[in-house]
């Protein structure tokens, strides 16, 4: 009897999490429903109490392998902002007549009402299936009776004939998770690559057993983790999904009785196969469709840099991107050229073909966009974009003609994702770095007058180079003058703009330049006979973008940059300077960032120069505390006041 008691006690302990919840669907405790805040994260709007997954493989009546994945999940809702976590959606893949199937069951919402548990079942009206595109649908559920304090739980099963890629399994989310487990039973006939991502320590267990029918052995893998904090997104991150703790699989080989079939290849094999696609490599060899229009553009041009510039601008002006990614052409370069519209591949493969036609060494570069993330295994699905690379002085110059605001070596931000794979005409390839190394610049010159009433007036000239110019053009080049003024006035709250002009030079080595006059009545604080204001005026930074206690992913500024502010302020008659901020120089370790601040008084004029440099575009999270402290000191200096008193 004593042994039975100990057994059931041990079983109970296994089924409970660190919060004491029972990890079985249908068994919800009153204490859980009455809980008002998450015990470890009082800011949490919701939390996963448990999430369990199990993937098994079976051989169907057609003698093919099928993958069955069952997921059980329970979520606690704490605040109205967390209502969306009560619902879920599951992507469904279909290809060439085969498709996945998803079924939901045991879906209920629990509430504490009048001293007892109230249970509401999901009805058919709460289930939806939507078509996303030719290959993807999505199955959704919207849980009923959700309010603050609710607990929702459900179970779904995915049956898939596509065994090449197991679905990624996450152990970390944007809300805390009390317990997450994933089990997968892999037959010895199927061999998979496996990789854990993120910084969470995941417990892994492995057992080899015979299958139920004894035909093959199975490796039973179990991954578990408890009390996982939410991953909290902050500014300056490329793709937060790259850093979430999770598990990825990819099929390497299938072992048959007669031998093995290998699926996984190295990157050279992957890109070689892509290059041999008719919708890729063949498109690079076509030229008759553009010769008639391109020849007059190149007539008399012998300098290679000038050829590159003219071809790049010709394609940008000629073509319009249809906002479709992909490294393969949909309609083909000839049709796209005729219609003046194409996807990424059609526009940039067309560009490469023209550059080669003009005698330049140009090659395609396959990349994964920032939204697509980074692939850990060699795979065709790793890529979803293609750009051009031109060899110049032994280095690669990158080009993307899908965005009319780009320049040579200034790519759209979506395309700057660590690395790419360059493919040459002989089908050899190499990895190339996409991260910008040159410094982009934003220079501001302000000539300002302060009157006795505390109103600033003056003129501003701002100049932008490199990625700063690209950002400016992306934000303003398509706006009317009136809308531009409205946008700037909104950015610098309280400012009123007068004359406004902007110059976009044809020569991209020269800066985009904007000029405007301004007045601002709200930058001065008057206390008695003294006036207080920041000498950086409306350019002062007042809030640190880095607020987390600990950051779990790198800081991605995208590109190195320098901001230079030169400000001259004329002090009004009847006032004299009582105090000025002290000159300051700040530097992060390894010169990651520097800040220089200097102000001098010259008769009735104050002259300020501020330099702020970020010298590395991507900074490891180990430097986060140092960077956060650097920004705090810099912002403190930005907000220091000049004090004027009546003379």
Tell me: pLDDT of 362 over 60: yes
Same structural domain for residues 321 and 412? Answer: yes
What is the sign of the dihedral through the CA atoms of 620, 622, 627 and 630? negative
Least confident piece of the model among 192-196, 577-581, 636-640: 192-196
From 162-171, 221-230, 463-472, the region with the lowest mean pLDDT: 162-171
The pLDDT, as a whole number, for residue 4 is: 41
Question: Positive or negative, the Cα torsion across 327, 331, 333, 338?
Answer: negative
Q: Is the pTM here over 0.95, yes or no?
A: no
Residue that terminates a domain, selected from 244, 262, 280: 262
Q: CA-based Rg of the chain, rounded to a whole angstrom?
A: 30
Report, as an integer, the average pLDDT of 591-602: 96
**Percentage of the residues of the chain whose pLDDT score is greater than 90:** 85
Based on the domain organization, do 246 and 280 belong to the same domain?
no
- Which pLDDT does position 12 carry in this prediction? 40
| pLDDT digit string, tens, across residues 508-517 | 889 999 999 9
What average pLDDT does this structure show over 230-246? 94
| pLDDT over 90 at 8, yes or no | no
Tell me what the mean pLDDT of segment 86-112 comes to.
Answer: 94
> Average pLDDT, stretch 641-645?
97
Range of the domain at 423: 267-433
Residue 259 predicted with pLDDT over 90 = no
pLDDT at 318: 98
Q: Which is nearest to 324 in space by CA: 348, 342, 336, 349?
A: 342
DSSP 198-232: SSS--EEEEEEEE-TTSSSEEEEEEEEEEEEPPP-
* H or E segment and range at residue 429: strand 429-433
Number of domains the chain contains: 3
**For 45-94, what is each residue's pLDDT tens digit?**
999 999 999 999 999 999 889 999 999 999 999 999 999 999 999 999 99
Quick one: average pLDDT of 542-550? 95
Q: Inform me whether the pLDDT recorded for 7 exceeds 60.
A: no
Residue with tokens 């209920």: 108
Same domain, 216 and 328: no
Contact 243, 231 (CB under 8 A): yes
In this prediction, residue 9 carries a pLDDT of 39
The DSSP H or E segment spanning 254 is strand 246-256
The mean per-residue pLDDT over the stretch 624-639 comes to 97
451 and 421 assigned to the same domain:
no
Using the predicted structure, report yes or no on whether residue 252 has a pLDDT greater than 50: yes
Q: What is the pLDDT of residue 593?
A: 97
Element containing residue 76 per DSSP (H, E) = strand 65-77
Quick one: pLDDT band at residue 264, thresholds 50, 70, 90? low
Give yes or no: residues 498 and 543 share one domain.
Answer: yes
* Residue 112: predicted pLDDT: 97
Q: Give the pLDDT of residue 15.
A: 40
pLDDT at 14 over 50: no
Q: Where are the alpha helices (DSSP H) in 302-439?
A: 304-318, 333-339, 344-357
User: How does residue 97 score in pLDDT terms, banded at 50, 70 and 90?
Assistant: confident
* Domain containing residue 245: CATH number: 2.60.40.3140
| Cβ–Cβ under 8 Å, residues 546 and 627 | yes
The answer on 445 and 353 residing in a single domain is no
Q: What are phi and psi for residue 628, nearest 5 degrees? A: -60, -45
| Distance between CA atoms of residues 430 and 423, nearest Å | 7
Residue 129 pLDDT > 80, yes or no?
Answer: yes
The verdict on 508 and 480 lying in the same domain is yes
Residue 6 has pLDDT above 50, yes or no: no
Q: How confident is the model at residue 22 (pLDDT cuts 50, 70, 90)?
A: confident
Contact 345, 280 (CB under 8 A): yes
Q: Are residues 201 and 87 in the same domain?
A: yes
Choose the final residue of a domain: 379, 404, 433.
Answer: 433
- Using the predicted structure, report yes or no on whether residue 231 has a pLDDT greater than 60: yes
Mean pLDDT of the chain: 93
Same-domain status, 384 and 514:
no
Mean pLDDT of 198-213: 89
Phi-psi group of 330: left, alpha or beta (phi > 0 → left; psi -120 to 50 → alpha; rest → beta): alpha
End of a domain among 417, 433, 449? 433
- For residues 316 and 250, membership in a common domain is answered with no
**3 has pLDDT over 60:** no
Do residues 86 and 215 both lie within one domain? Answer: yes
Q: Are 515 and 501 in contact (CB under 8 A)?
A: yes
CATH code (residue 394): 3.10.620.30
Same domain for 464 and 613? yes
User: For residue 21, what pLDDT is reported?
Assistant: 59
Whether the pLDDT of residue 261 is over 90: the answer is no
């Amino acid at each position: 009897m004593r042994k039975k008691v100990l057994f059931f006690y041990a079983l109970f302990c296994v089924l409970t999490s660190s919060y004491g919840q029972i990890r079985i669907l249908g068994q919800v405790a009153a204490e859980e429903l009455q809980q008002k805040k998450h015990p470890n994260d009082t800011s949490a709007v919701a939390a996963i109490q448990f999430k369990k997954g199990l993937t098994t493989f079976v051989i169907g009546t057609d003698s093919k392998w099928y993958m069955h994945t069952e997921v059980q999940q329970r979520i606690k809702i704490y605040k109205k902002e967390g209502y969306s976590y009560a619902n879920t959606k599951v992507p469904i893949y279909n290809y060439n007549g085969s498709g996945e199937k998803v079924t939901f069951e045991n879906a209920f919402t629990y509430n504490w009402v009048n001293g007892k548990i109230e249970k509401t079942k999901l009805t058919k009206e709460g289930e939806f299936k939507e078509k996303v595109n030719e290959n993807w649908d999505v199955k959704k559920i919207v849980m009923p009776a959700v309010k603050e304090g609710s607990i929702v739980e459900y179970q779904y099963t995915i049956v898939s004939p596509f065994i090449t890629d197991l679905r990624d399994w996450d152990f970390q989310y944007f809300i805390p998770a009390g317990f997450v487990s994933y089990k997968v039973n892999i037959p010895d006939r199927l061999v998979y690559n496996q990789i854990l991502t993120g910084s969470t320590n995941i417990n892994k267990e492995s057992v080899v057993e015979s299958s139920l029918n004894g035909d093959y052995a199975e490796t039973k893998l179990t991954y578990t983790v408890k009390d996982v904090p939410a991953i909290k997104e902050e500014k300056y991150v490329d793709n937060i999904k790259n850093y979430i703790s999770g598990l990825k699989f990819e099929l390497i080989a299938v072992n048959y009785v007669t031998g093995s079939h290998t699926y996984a290849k190295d990157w050279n094999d992957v890109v070689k196969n892509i290059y041999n696609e008719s919708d890729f490599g063949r498109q690079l060899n076509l030229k008759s469709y553009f010769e008639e229009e391109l020849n007059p553009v190149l007539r008399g041009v012998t300098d290679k840099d000038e050829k590159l510039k003219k071809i790049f601008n010709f394609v940008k002006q000629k073509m319009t991107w249809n906002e479709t990614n992909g490294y393969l052409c949909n309609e083909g370069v000839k049709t796209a050229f005729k219609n003046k519209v194409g996807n990424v591949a059609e526009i940039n493969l067309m560009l490469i073909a023209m550059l080669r036609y003009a005698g330049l060494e140009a090659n395609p570069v396959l990349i994964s966009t920032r939204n697509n993330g980074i692939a850990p295994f060699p795979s065709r699905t790793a890529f979803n974009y293609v750009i051009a690379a031109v060899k110049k002085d032994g280095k690669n110059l990158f080009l993307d003609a899908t965005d009319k605001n780009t320049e040579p070596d200034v790519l759209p931000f979506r395309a700057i994702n660590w690395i790419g794979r360059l493919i040459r005409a002989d089908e050899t390839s190499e990895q190339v770095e996409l991260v910008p190394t040159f410094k982009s610049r934003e220079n501001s010159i302000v000539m300002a007058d302060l009157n006795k009433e505390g109103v600033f007036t003056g003129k501003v000239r701002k100049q932008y180079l490199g990625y700063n110019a690209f950002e400016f053009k992306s934000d303003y080049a398509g706006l009317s003058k009136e809308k531009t003024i409205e946008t700037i006035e909104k950015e610098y709250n309280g400012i009123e703009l007068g004359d406004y002009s902007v110059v976009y030079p044809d020569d991209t080595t020269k800066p985009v330049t904007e000029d405007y006059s301004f007045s601002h009545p709200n930058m001065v604080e008057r206390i008695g006979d003294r006036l207080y204001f920041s000498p950086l005026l409306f350019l002062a930074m007042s809030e640190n973008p880095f607020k987390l206690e600990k950051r779990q992913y790198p800081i991605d500024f995208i590109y190195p940059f320098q901001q230079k502010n030169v400000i001259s302020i004329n002090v009004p008659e009847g006032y004299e300077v009582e105090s000025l901020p002290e000159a300051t120089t700040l530097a992060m370790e390894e010169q990651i960032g520097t800040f220089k601040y200097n102000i001098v008084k010259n008769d009735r004029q104050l002259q300020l120069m501020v330099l702020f440099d970020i010298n590395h575009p991507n900074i490891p999270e180990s430097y986060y505390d140092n960077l956060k402290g650097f920004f705090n000191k810099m912002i403190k200096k930005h907000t220091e006041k000049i004090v004027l008193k009546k003379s």
